[in-house]
Amino acid sequence: MSISEDRIAWEEVIEAKAFVDMARITPQPFKDSVEFTCMPVGTGCAISLPTAPAVGLNRILALNERDELNLAFEWMKTKTGRRHVQIRETSAANELRGWILDQGLVENGAWVKLTRPAPSAPLPIEGPVRARLAGIDDAPIFGKLTCAGFGFPAELEPLWSCLIGKKGWACFIAELEGTAIGTGAMFIEDGYAWLGGGTTSAEYRNRGAQKALINARLNEGLAQGVSLFAVETVQPREDQPNISFANLTKAGFKPSYVRKNYLLPN
């Protein structure tokens, strides 16, 4: 029986597909060395990378059916790290809330999902920062900048570097006066696109890099026939402004729903 009769939203599905594909194209020796694993389940997946500090690489997402959630949960319990289950708030019917309690999950923040249609025409290039498609030669700096921006250990740089040049992926580097200062990635499938990996070196923040990276991905997606774009960020609060959320809404993205994070007990 389904815990919720709600369909899994397309913006949730394209995100899960991006992580499943990331795991598929990451070289096996590297995956083995850092214990990076991913299990596709239904429309979603469970993904584990214990040394990554971010929720995004240690979670269950895009599932709301009891059997699928239980399958993913049992798999995730065998992993280490700060593991989470992400649940779309509007899908949290009483039966699902009971499941959360039964598993001993603890609420640990929330993300907001945002979407927007493709622009009607290419967006103009403004400001001193330029974002360009990354080529194979850029793979090392792309991995280095992405890990540094997210506070990941340097050993995880190949996780991002291996995305360069792969089918379905478009990776960008933001530059200021010739210096690489930020990165952004995009996964495309069947007219949908997921934006991820957007980060800027600490010393170059608030210079316009994220705006340039967002617009560059929208323009590339438009050129590749994308009709709808999705992205997520930490849910903003009055006492904790979210620059990422502000940049995305200025770029035409609108909140779609809130997804809560539930931490697995140790």
Residue 157, both tokens: 């740089």
- Which secondary structure element, helix H or strand E, spans residue 212, and what is its range? helix 209-223
Q: Can you tell me the distance from the alpha carbon of 12 to that of 26, in angstroms, rounded to the nearest whole number?
A: 22
The pTM assigned to this predicted structure is 0.94
Percent above pLDDT 70 for the chain: 96
Q: Are 202 and 189 spatial neighbours (Cβ–Cβ below 8 Å)?
A: no
Q: Which amino acid is at 104?
A: G
Rounded to the nearest 5 percent, the helix, strand and coil shares of the chain are 35, 30, 30
Regions of the chain with pLDDT less than 50: 1-5
**Token pair listed for 256:** 């779609």
For 45, residues 6+ apart whose C-beta sits below 8 A from its C-beta are 16, 19, 20, 38, 39, 60, 61, 62, 72
- Domain 129-226 classification at class level: alpha beta
Classify 18 as helix, strand or coil: helix
- For residue 126, the Cα-to-chain-centroid distance in whole angstroms is 26
Residue tagged 């999950």 (tokens): 105
d(CA 167, CA 146): 20
Evaluate whether 48 touches 76 at the Cβ level (below 8 Å): yes
pLDDT at residue 95, rounded to an integer: 72
Copy the structure tokens of residue 9.
């939203």
**Which amino acid belongs to residue 109?**
G
pLDDT of residue 5: 39
Query: Which residues lie below 8 Å from residue 228, measured CB to CB, with a gap of 6+?
Result: 10, 11, 115, 116, 117, 118, 191, 192, 193
| Domain boundaries along the sequence of the chain | 10-111, 129-226
Q: Could you report the per-residue pLDDT of 51-109, keeping only the tens digit for each?
A: 999 899 999 999 988 899 999 999 999 999 999 999 987 765 667 888 898 999 999 99
Q: Which segments within the chain are labelled E, that is strand?
A: 37-41, 44-48, 58-61, 84-88, 106-117, 129-133, 169-176, 179-189, 192-200, 228-234, 254-263
Structural tokens at position 127: 């400001």
